Structure 1
Amino acid sequence: EKREDILAGLHRAIMLRAISIISRSGGVTNEFTFTGGVAKNDAAVRELHKLLKENYGDMTVNISPDSIYTGALGGANFALRAVVH
């Protein structure tokens, strides 16, 4: 197999795992927000779009240009709450 095919399969497997977790937690309706560093990976985003469409139909996928900071902001928020409370 070509390297591109192997990498495409890897991206699909990773996104399938994410979709599986999403399905178990109630699924998605109308809109989906994708955050974190993986949201900067064009191949992963393409697979996510495909899988969301296959499983839930057309929907809006929100990806902030600053999505890589989401985890850090969440961590800072937890730390702030721990100090304040």
Structure 2
Amino acid sequence: MIGANAAEVTLPEPAPIVEPVTVSGADRVEKLPRIRRTIARRMIESLYTAVQFTTVVEVDVTRIARLWDREKRCSTHAQV
């Protein structure tokens, strides 16, 4: 949320890190291995510390597709 003053910025509080568990069976609960807990914790931390964005580049490959089709047809006729 950006306040009335442009320099005033409030960031959301990070969600608490919950101990991940796997439940298997009706009466058995197993904790995840240490490496998986570490991976989960770091993935959550990255959501709050790194900028999340995606770059999409659209390219028209119509001419390349036509050239590819033409070359496939030529090589098919040459083999017969």
TM-score range, shorter chain: under 0.3
Bigger Cα Rg: 2
| Structure number having the greater helix percentage | 1
Question: How does the TM-score come out when normalised to structure 1?
Answer: 0.26
Question: How does the TM-score come out when normalised to structure 2?
Answer: 0.27
Q: Which has the higher contact order (CA 8 A, sep 6+)?
A: 1
